[in-house]
């Protein structure tokens, strides 16, 4: 009798997870995906009023979740959050903003705002998460929600694209430094996903035409397209994967 290999589990039963930016869009999808796979999920956002309704809906499914307020533009707030909570096995950073303009029209205020969340917030969230794990001699999986724009450029997206290129860079160094502690660091890079943040882009006929021409698979993304990937990266099924990204772009970056 041949001994067959065992398929690693995608289940997250008994795991604790935190999802930042969970009040809508991709972050909400990630929180639901992790909860449905068995994790106890802490949903985090600046808009805690929205989180309470989401938590109620998740818990009514028989899953486990709770809500917390956090502004990731303040490093002291991030550190305090991890100091006052138990260790999380899984962390997803999905907070992000965009102020689209041509590179020639970018204003300093908008530049600073986008950088403060997408780059600074992500960096120091990852740092605080890893510090807590290392202090407790625990392992974990950190997932950044990045973008296909971390691989390419785009119309009116110089600042946004720059933040995501930066994220991919420090992700690789973090994975290199923290691998010895059993901490994995990866990212998911979606194409344009139907959310409240992309509504204005899809409403622009010229931009929508450009998007559809780029996506080889013939449709724009849905939040559900991201959910399987975040469960995979959070689970034992991806235990040898770190320092890389899963690109969910319908073939945008294939050519």
Q: Which domain holds residue 105?
A: 16-254
pLDDT at 206: 87
The answer to the question of residue 66 being in a domain is yes
Residue 112: strand, helix, or coil:
helix
pLDDT at 117: 97
pLDDT at 149: 94
pLDDT at 195: 87
pLDDT at 202: 86
pLDDT at 26: 97
Active-site annotation, residues: 160
Residue linked to tokens 């997250």: 12
pLDDT at 104: 97
The answer to the question of residue 9 being in a domain is no
The answer to the question of residue 148 being in a domain is yes
**Cα–Cα distance, 185 to 87 (Å, whole number):** 16
**64, 35 Cβ separation under 8 angstroms:** yes
Residues 6+ apart with CB under 8 A from 24: 50, 195, 196, 197
How far from chain centre, in Å, is Cα 198?
Answer: 16
pLDDT at 63: 98
The answer to the question of residue 10 being in a domain is no
**28, 223 Cβ separation under 8 angstroms:** yes
The answer to the question of residue 2 being in a domain is no
**Crossing angle of helices 75-83/122-135, nearest 10°?**
30
User: Considering the entire predicted model, what is its pTM?
Assistant: 0.96
pLDDT at 110: 96
The answer to the question of residue 154 being in a domain is yes
pLDDT at 49: 84
pLDDT at 207: 83
Strand partners, 183: 140
The answer to the question of residue 5 being in a domain is no
The answer to the question of residue 6 being in a domain is no
Can you give the CATH number for the domain in which 32 is found?
3.40.50.720
What b-and-e string marks burial along 211-228, b requiring 16 or more CB atoms within 10 Å of the CB? beebbeeeebbebebbbe
Query: Helices (DSSP H) in the chain: which residue ranges?
Result: 25-36, 48-60, 75-83, 108-115, 122-135, 158-178, 199-203, 205-214, 224-234
pLDDT at 198: 83
pLDDT in tens, the chain (255 residues): 999 999 999 999 999 999 999 999 999 999 999 999 999 999 999 888 889 999 999 999 999 999 999 999 999 999 999 999 999 999 999 999 999 899 999 999 999 999 999 999 999 999 999 999 999 999 999 999 999 999 999 888 999 999 999 999 999 999 999 999 999 999 999 999 998 878 888 888 888 888 889 999 988 999 999 999 999 999 999 999 999 999 999 999 998
Total domain count for the chain?
Answer: 1
pLDDT at 208: 87
pLDDT at 200: 82
């Amino acid at each position: 009798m041949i001994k067959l290999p065992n398929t690693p589990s995608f289940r997250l039963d008994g795991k604790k997870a935190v999802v930042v930016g969970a009040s809508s869009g991709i972050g909400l999808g990630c929180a639901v995906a992790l909860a449905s796979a068995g994790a106890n999920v802490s949903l985090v956002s600046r808009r805690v009023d929205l989180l309470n309704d989401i938590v109620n809906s998740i818990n009514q499914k028989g899953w486990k979740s709770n809500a917390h307020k956090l502004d990731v533009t303040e490093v002291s707030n991030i550190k305090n959050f991890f100091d006052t909570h138990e260790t999380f096995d899984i962390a997803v950073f999905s907070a992000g903003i965009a102020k689209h303009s041509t590179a020639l029209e970018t204003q300093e205020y908008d530049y600073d705002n986008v950088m403060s969340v997408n780059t600074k917030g992500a960096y120091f969230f990852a740092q605080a998460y890893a510090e807590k794990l290392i202090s407790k001699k625990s392992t974990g999986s950190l997932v950044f929600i990045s973008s296909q724009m971390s691989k390419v450029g785009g119309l009116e997206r110089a600042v946004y694209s720059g933040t995501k290129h930066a994220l991919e860079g420090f992700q690789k160094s973090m994975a290199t430094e923290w691998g010895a502690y059993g901490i994995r660091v990866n990212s998911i890079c979606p194409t344009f996903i139907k959310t409240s943040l992309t509504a204005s882009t899809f409403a622009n006929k010229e931009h929508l035409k450009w998007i559809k021409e780029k996506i080889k698979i013939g449709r724009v993304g849905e939040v559900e397209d991201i959910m399987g990937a975040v469960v995979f990266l959070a689970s034992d099924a991806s235990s040898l994967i770190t320092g890389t990204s899963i690109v969910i772009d319908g073939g945008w970056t294939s050519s």
